Structure 1
Amino acid sequence: MSIRRLVPAALAATTLLVALTGCGTSQADSRTSSAGTVTIRIPDPGNSGVLALGKKDGSLAKALAKVHAQVAWTGSDGPFAPAAQALNANQLDIATASITSGITALSQKPGFEFFTATTPDPVGEGVLVKKDSGITSVKDLVGKKVAVNQGGTGEYLLLKALAQAGVPAGKVKRVYLRPDQTAAVFNSGQVDAWAVWSTYAVAEIGSGKARFLADGQAIGSDNYTLTTVRTAFAQRHPAVVKALYQYLHDGSVRQKRDPAAYLNVNTGTGPQAVTGAARRVQIEFTGEGGTVEPVTNADTERFKKVARFYADQKVTRTEVDIAAHLLDVTTLS
Structure 2
Amino acid sequence: MKLRRYPLAALAAASLLGLAACASSGTADTAKSAAGGSSGGSSQETVIRIPDGGNSGVLALGRKDGSLARALAAVHAKVVWTGTAGAFAPAAQELDANELDVAEGSITSATTALTQSPGFKLFAAVAPDKLGEGILVKNGSPITSVQDLVGKKIAVWHGGTSEYLLLKALQQNNVPVDKVTRVYLQPNQVAPVFASGQVDAWSTWATYSIPAIANTGAHFLVTGGQVDSDNYAVWAVRTAFAQQHPAVVEALYQYLHDNGLKQQQDPAAYINVDTTAGPQAVSPAQKAVELPIDAADGTALPITAADLVRFHAVAQFFADQKITQGFFDVTPYILDINALPGGAG
Q: Which residue of the partner structure matches residue 120 of structure 2? A: 112
How much has 1:323 moved relative to structure 2? 1.3
Q: After TM superposition, give the deviation of residue 29 of structure 1 in Å.
A: 4.9
Question: Partner amino acid for 2:246?
Answer: P
Identity %: 58
Q: Say which of 62, 80, 92 aligns to 1:54.
A: 62
Aligned match of 2:280:
272
Q: How does 1:165-184 map to 2 (within 5 A)?
A: 165-184=173-192
Map 1:1-333 onto structure 2 (within 5 A). Answer: 29-32=35-38, 35-207=43-215, 209-333=217-341
Note the alpha carbon deviations across 1:300-325, whole angstroms, 9 max, x for none. 00000000000000000111111111
What amino acid maps onto 1:110 in structure 2? P
**2:34 and 2:70 mapped to 1: Cα distance?**
23
Give the Cα–Cα distance (whole angstroms) in 2 for the partners of residues 166 and 329 of structure 1: 39
Structure 1 residue ranges without an equivalent (≥5)? 1-25
AA aligned opposite 1:276: P
- Partner of residue 5, structure 2: none
Structure 2's unaligned 5+ residue stretches are: 1-31
SS state of the match for residue 183, structure 2? strand
Displacement of 1:133 in angstroms is 1.1
Q: Give 2:27's aligned residue.
A: none
Could you tell which deviates more after superposition, 221-230 or 321-330?
321-330
Counterpart residue identity of residue 76, structure 1: T
The alpha-carbon deviation at position 28 of structure 1 amounts to 5.4
Structure 2: how far apart are the matches of 1:178 and 1:286?
25
- What is the DSSP-based 3-state SS (H/G/I as helix, E as strand, rest coil) of the residue aligned with 1:270? coil
The letter of the residue matching 2:37 is R
TM-score by length of 1: 0.90
What amino acid maps onto 2:98 in structure 1? Answer: N
Shift of the alpha carbon at 1:35? 2.6
State the distance in 1 between where 2:153 and 2:332 align.
36
Q: Aligned equivalents of 1:164 and 1:30: distance in 2?
A: 49
What secondary structure, in the 3-state scheme, does the structure 2 residue paired with 1:182 have?
helix
Change (3 A) 1:180 1:191: same
Q: CA deviation at 1:277?
A: 1.7
Aligned residues of 2:127 and 2:299 also touching (Cα < 8 A): yes
Distance 1:92 1:207 in 2: 34
Please give the secondary structure, in 1, of the residue aligned with 2:188.
helix
Q: Work out the CA distance in 2 between the residues paired with 1:171 and 1:322.
A: 31
Distance 2:125 2:86 in 1: 18
Cα distance, 1:31 vs structure 2: 3.1
Whether the 8 Å contact between 1:46 and 1:76 is mirrored in structure 2 is yes
> Which residue of structure 1 lines up, in the alignment, with residue 17 of structure 2?
none
CA offsets 1:82-131 (integer angstroms, 9 cap, x no match): 00010001000000010000011011141001111000011110000001
Q: Which amino acid aligns with 1:177?
A: L
Q: Is the 8 A contact 1:39 1:69 kept in 2?
A: yes
Q: 1:302 is paired with a residue of what secondary structure?
A: helix
* Structure exhibiting the larger radius of gyration computed from Cα positions: 1
C-alpha distance in 2 between matches for 1:164 and 1:263:
34
Cα pair 2:156 2:183 within 8 Å, conserved:
yes
Figure out how many residues of one structure are paired with residues of the other and give that number: 308
Q: Which amino acid aligns with 1:46?
A: G
Partner Cα distance (2:216, 2:163) in 1: 24
What stretches of structure 1 move > 4 A for 4+ residues in a row? 26-30
Alpha-carbon shift at residue 207 of structure 1 (Å): 2.4
Superposed CA deviations along residues 190-211 of structure 1, whole A, max 9, x for unmatched, are 1000000111100111126100
Q: The residue matched to 1:140 in structure 2 has which SS? A: helix
- Inter-partner Cα distance in structure 2 for 1:94 and 1:305: 25
Structure 2: distance between partners of 1:28 and 1:35: 15
Give the TM-score, by structure 2 length.
0.87
Kept in 2: contact 1:30–1:233 (CA 8 A)? no
